Amino acid sequence: MAGLLISAPRVVPAVDDGGVLEPGYVGVTDGRISVVGAGPPPAPADLELAEGVLLPGFVDLQVNGYYGVEMSAADPDGWALVRGRLPETGTTAFLPTFITAPVAELAAELRWAASFGPAIPRGAARVLGVHVEGPFISPARRGAHNVGWIVPPEPAAVGELLAAGAGVLRMVTLAPEAEGGLAAVERLTAAGVLVSVGHSDATGQQVAEAAAAGARMVTHVFNGQRPLGSYEPGVTGQALTDHRLTSGLIADLHHVCREACLIAFATAPGRICLVTDASACAGMPAGRYLLGGEPIELPPGDGVPPRRPDGGLAGSALRMDRAVANMVSIGVGLAAAVTAATRIPADLIGRPDLGRLAPGAAADLAWLGDDLRTRGTWIDGERVYP
């Protein structure tokens, strides 16, 4: 593969001390980042971006569906559609997310995903594995999950999912306060699965015990969990103050208000991970769709999330570039917002080769315009959008 040198008015490397390079440049050789620097490039650029910002491709750890496709129920063509179009949003790697279903059904879905899911065809977003959100959650904090399919994390059920998901199960959201919850956290962690506390009515102490057992994340902080109280931190308070935990944040400004988003970034710098929690309705017109086999309705309006028949939220219609733009619009720094959508999720999922512009990293790049809308995307140094 030939080399590529790109210059841009702004470059966000998303490394620990990278800040924003104004201007900057990125060099690519054989699908890998070879050089990143500030100022004019050392040689004439192959591509001079006249506006906007160049940054790592986004890494989304929670995608239930997109473009009319529900990932847990899709056929290979459906997966190919989502993978082929996610680069339009700047996303270059993601975790398809299967929400609560009967354990045997989830196991069958995992076996099916393992048969082809992780392979990356040319021009498509990387599948980093599968995120199973449930069924080991709290009925009291179930959100859009079917209460009839929620079960405790008994050893047989945990073992069935681990066996079915060998090589593909990368993340599990569970409620650690359920009977057997801490044992499940330990077992999943030992198997190399990222455990996230979510849809949980746990106390702060119970969340701390889950972190001691190996949990490293909290799923969509502020949503589907015991909230922060004046005498009890709950899941939210523990998530934001426990340095072992990184919090997912649905940054559509509907799930979580502006002020709460700012509190999260201020309280837990470097420990916020932007996610879309996108449903099948994302990227689609208003209408009826499915989430976990249950009907949801996407109302008209830009960025408005879908709702269940009872009026509750049911995932989102969010794009990752919009998530970053939303955070910048409320006062989060550009570098912090980009890092929350790139390096932080990549590190959580154990992929230090993704989510950053640094020598040796995969050349997965996104170019956003001055409005922070995706203008171009590269995977392994190959332009895949437009």
Please report where in the chains the tokens 């790697």 appear, as a residue.
93
Give CA–CA dist 363/351, Å, rounded: 13
Q: How many CB atoms lie within 10 A of CB 346?
A: 28
Q: Which two tokens stand for residue 84?
A: 């082929």
Give CA–CA dist 37/153, Å, rounded: 49
For the chain, the distance separating the N- and C-terminal CA atoms, rounded to the nearest angstrom, is 19
Q: Which two tokens stand for residue 1?
A: 């593969």
Give CA–CA dist 193/317, Å, rounded: 27
Is 242 among the catalytic positions?
no
Q: How far is CA 95 from the centre of its chain?
A: 7
Q: How many CB atoms lie within 10 A of CB 108?
A: 13
Q: Rounded to the nearest 10 degrees, how much is the dihedral formed by the CA atoms of 273, 289, 147, 264?
A: 20
Helix (H, G, I), strand (E, B) or coil at 73: helix
Kind plus residue range of the DSSP H or E element containing 81: helix 76-85
Dihedral (CA of 282, 287, 292, 293) sign: negative
- Beta-carbon contacts of residue 69 (< 8 Å; ≥ 6 apart): 78, 79, 81, 82, 280
Q: Rounded to the nearest 10 degrees, how much is the dihedral formed by the CA atoms of 189, 356, 91, 267?
A: 70
- Beta-carbon contacts of residue 385 (< 8 Å; ≥ 6 apart): 87, 88, 374, 376, 377
Q: Which of 201, 242, 252, 277 is an active site residue?
A: 277
**Residues recorded for the chain:** 386
Dump the DSSP string for 152-186.
---HHHHHHHHHHTTTTEEEEEE-TTSTTHHHHHH
**What are the catalytic residues?**
277
